[in-house]
Amino acid sequence: MTQTQQPPYASTNPATGEVTDRFDFATDDAVESALAAGASAFATWREKPIEERAALAKKVGDLFAERSDELARLAVEEMGKPLSEAEEEVEFCQAIFGYYAEHGPALAADQPITSFEGDTAMVQKRPIGLLLGVMPWNFPYYQVARFAAPNLVVGNTMLLKHAESVPRCAQAIQQIFDDAGVPSGVYQNVFATFAQIETVIADPRVQGVSLTGSERAGSRIAELAGRNLKKCVLELGGSDPYVILDTDDVAAAAKQAWETRLYNTGQACNSNKRMIVMDDVYEPFVDELVGLARSLAPDAYSPLSSQTALDRLKEVVDDAVAKGAELRAGGEVGDGSGAFYSPAVLTGVTPEMRAYREELFGPVAVVYKVSSDDEALELANDSDYGLGGAVFSSDPERAARVASRLDVGMANVNTPAGEGAEIPFGGVKRSGFGRELGPLGMDEFVNKRLYYVKD
């Protein structure tokens, strides 16, 4: 992660390009103080009854809800999220903290093992210590919540290094933890540099690291964690297949696919980045997408998170078009200093194009045509990524047969994605490893200790 120059923590409105606030990097002394505080807090936090930790988690969730308007506005200003979606994200945070507050004690309870010797045996889930979370900008609250909530309840302490582009969101989260009465040192936001993060991972007081971000960042974090023998959880990119085998209503299917692709302005890891459509409905499906794209007024869509994000997306789309793909609609860069890119429909993508392999992190619907279930499955699995995938058919059994063979961490039938605080999230292949949310999210950073008593 070391590089010659790192962008500062700066709050930049992507709709205008205006920098509204800047924040200094943490000093090395401040990072050391945070490490010491986190390690010290663990010694007492782990000893509190889990019910007491769960009650504080509920308070954190309730404060997310109480401050929904303020938090949503910050997300709009710092990364361009549509307001209604920002409000939904904050509500989801309350649900996540509420889930672990209610179910965490049972999820962390001792699990008896039948001993053939008649002795007492069980698996105990115990906290492991101070953790590092490295979080992205695209869901500035939700990503933090799914890392922090289970670890707060199970008894770990946390350092949080947020994305450089959402510092005010990061500060707002810290304020919520403080105001909820979470003890000092249990959760700490640190405006750390890349070099400091390397130092933190190597520090013996840190027992694990969780990152949501790019492949590049994930590879570096995994390398550092492995070198220092630290557990890590990685949720990286995705290029999720969205397979339509048949449909009784092409317009409705296209509308659902389009709205799914445009959620968070197309900047979601598990977005339907590859729409794979059976040949008998392909043309009308694409026509519907094109109509939806062309019906959008310039002020009807939100900016991408930054000019850099726009430039990266445009570069991959332009490469595809230069090599023969067809841009059916959209793909226009807005006037002015905002990071606006009109939602697009791209067809004719082939393996020699970057768009075939790379993740398009923005509002671009890439549509492929296939002529059989086997061809659809082969194309769906022809990816370095393996986050999620969805298969649609009026015959649920047909959809299930294809979905059951997807090489992904989350397979869905007749829905874009199963979502909820209780639903585990994570992938395989270059989409990372480990799981967050649900009962599995409680198991990642715990000591699954065998406890055996000879009767």
Which residues are annotated as catalytic? 235, 269
State both tokens at 25.
């990097």
Strand partners, 231: 208
Task: Give the chain's radius of gyration (CA, Å).
Answer: 23
What are the angstrom distances between the C-alpha of 235 and each of 34, 166, 268, 436? 25, 19, 12, 9
What values do phi and psi take at 386, rounded to 5?
A: -160, 55
CA–CA distance, 380 with 376 (Å, rounded to integer): 6
What values do phi and psi take at 338, rounded to 5?
A: -80, 155
> In sequence order, what are the residues at sequence separation of 6 or more whose Cβ sits closer than 8 angstroms to the Cβ of residue 166?
11, 74, 75, 78, 79, 137, 140
